[in-house]
Amino acid sequence: MEQVIHNPGTPPEGELTLFGNPDMVCVCEEPYERYQNGDGVQKRLQDYAVDWDRNIYQISGIPAGDVQDAVRELCRRGRYIFATTLISDFYESFGPCWMDFVAAVRKSHD
């Protein structure tokens, strides 16, 4: 089965919203600080709606003490998520919060 994944890496706007009907969309691939910006990323996420089961969120730079709450929120927003405390090289390793991330995802689905 073929799947089409669209990854603009940011909440799509303008011409980036004209991409057809992919199976999954990475609607947010941002550092945590930028993700929390109500006038920027959050506003664009409100303006652009993709079904929960097609949403992908990848958030980096989450303070260690905020991982559980951030993951809970991300799990409400999208089916596919990745969250890390790392602020760089987060594609090369999972970082020290990996087990916290996994536990938070599991807890969010209970």
- Measured over the CA atoms of residue 34, residue 91, residue 14 and residue 47, the dihedral's sign is negative
pLDDT of 17 above 70: no
Query: Half-sphere exposure of residue 18, counting CA atoms within 13 Å on the CB side?
Result: 2
Dump pLDDT digits (tens) for 60-98: 999 999 999 999 999 999 999 999 999 999 889 888 999
* CA–CA separation, 60 and 55 (whole Å): 17
* CA–CA separation, 80 and 91 (whole Å): 16
